[in-house]
Copies of this chain bind each other. A is one copy, B any other.
Amino acid sequence: MVRQGTRQRILEVAEDLLQHRGWAGFSYQHIAERLGIRSAAVHYHFPSKTDLGVALLRRYRSSFNWWCEQLRQRQAPPEVCLEGFFALERRYMDEGKVCPLGVLGVEAEGVPAAVRDEARLLAGDVLRWLGRVLEQGEAQGVLHVAGTPASHALALMSSLQAGLQLARTLGPEAFYTLLEQQREQLGLSRRRRAALGG
């Protein structure tokens, strides 16, 4: 089967496997089986697992930055940006996935240095963007930021990252509880508004 998009499809499957099974938990065979090809064909596109991991993380970054750019062009207000971010994480939750940065943090000592370096860049992008959104929201008076925008951004990301992991052990409520709590702290919660109004 000669397809020009195989490289992209490999990355799609690899992304899914990484967030379901972890770095050490997926192999070239797993990818090949899902695509109906042989593992040697995967090695043609990504000679080593390090190459695959680096490409995968660059793909996360470019996806995320493209998504941010879309919001920027639409001049989305800070609350909308945050709800968009929550929706991304919630989608991971619904698909049974965890955050890739959590995966690489947990398995860091078995992950090639080149892949860890890319993870650092991705974490930087996400935190920088979140920090700017919080800063804007605070300036506009539509969000309540605790501490500095940077430290609140870190708290936000941490809460959802661990929430996805704990949901696997304790059930989905763990994630939803944490998500709602983050909204409350930001002054975005419907429940809180209802409670204050009533």
Which A residues have a C-beta under 8 Å from some C-beta of B?
Answer: 20-22, 24-25, 98, 101-110, 116, 119-120, 123-124, 146-147, 151-152, 154-155, 157-159, 161-170, 174, 177-178, 181, 184-185
Chain B proximity of A149: nearest CB distance (Å):
12
Picked from B152, B158, B167, the residue with its CB within 8 Å of the CB of A166 is: B158
Chain B residues positioned under 8 Å from A20 (CB to CB):
109
Chain B proximity of A15: nearest CB distance (Å):
15
A147 & B184 in contact (Cβ 8 Å cutoff): yes
Interface of A is mostly: helix
CB-defined A-B contacts under 8 Å, sample of 10: A20-B109, A21-B109, A98-B106, A104-B169, A105-B168, A119-B169, A120-B170, A123-B170, A154-B166, A161-B162
B24 & A123 in contact (Cβ 8 Å cutoff): no
A185 & B24 in contact (Cβ 8 Å cutoff): no
